[in-house]
Amino acid sequence: DGGITQSPKYLFRKEGQNVTLSCEQNLNHDAMYWYRQDPGQGLRLIYYSQIVNDFQKGDIAEGYSVSREKKESFPLTVTSAQKNPTAFYLCASSMVPGQGLETQYFGPGTRLLVL
Amino acid sequence: QKEVEQDPGPLSVPEGAIVSLNCTYSNSAFQYFMWYRQYSRKGPELLMYTYSSGNKEDGRFTAQVDKSSKYISLFIRDSQPSDSATYLCAMSYRNDMRFGAGTRLTVKP
C-alpha cells in the first residue's frame, strides 16, 4: 500500500524547544517537500530535496532545518528560531521534475501547536 | 499581486448543482495544472491534473486550462455532500510549484 506517512498527527512545542516532524514515503519518489499551511493562505514551501544528501531552501526556510539521509525519509525540525510555528505542516513527494509527471502527493499532515 | 489568485469563498450550493471553481495566475511559464481536494484537517489529495491548455474530464469533474488568459477552472457536475471540502489549485514549472489559497465548498443535502 504505497503512500506518505507523517507523524505525529499533533505536536506541542514549548518555548525554546526544537521539535522534529517525521515524513516517510514508499512511492519510490526522488523528490520530497515540506509545506506550511496557514488559514487563508496557500501552501508555502519550506524546503525541498530532489536527491539524497541534497536539499534546497524554499520561500520560508528561516527557523527550519531538514535532512535527507535516505530516499524514503525527509524529517523537518522546527527550531526555537521559528517564532510563529503554529501551523499545519504537510510533506509531499514527486518524481523528479523534468521527467514528465510533476504532480506532488501529500501526506496527512502534522498540526503543530505552541504551549 | 499574488502569483496565483483563488477566491477563498466560502461557496455553498444545493446538492445536484454544477460547481465552478477558478484560479488565475501570472507566470506564463507554468506547464502543469492541478486541482487538489482537502478535507478538514487532512492532507490534500490530487483530484485532476492537466498539461498545458485544454480540457480533461474524469467522471463528474472537468478541468479546463486557458493559458492565453492564464485562467484555470474545475467544474463539478451533480455535486454531492461528499464533495464538501476545500479545493486547491496548483501549477508548476520544473521545481517551482505554486498553490492557490483554496476555495471552501459546502454542498447542502
Contacts of A25 in chain B (CB under 8 A): none
pLDDT band at residue A102 using 50, 70 and 90 as cut-offs: low
Contact (CB<8Å) B44/A106:
yes
Cα A63 → chain centroid: 13
pLDDT > 90: percent of chain B: 78
Exposure on the CB side of residue A45, measured as CA atoms within 13 A:
21
Given a cut of 70, whether residue B99 has pLDDT beyond it is yes
Of A42, A105, A106, the CB nearest to B4: A42
Given a cut of 80, whether residue A101 has pLDDT beyond it is no
Cell of A56: 534546497
CA distances from A16 to A13, A76, A85, A91, B45 (A): 8, 16, 11, 24, 34
Given a cut of 70, whether residue A100 has pLDDT beyond it is no
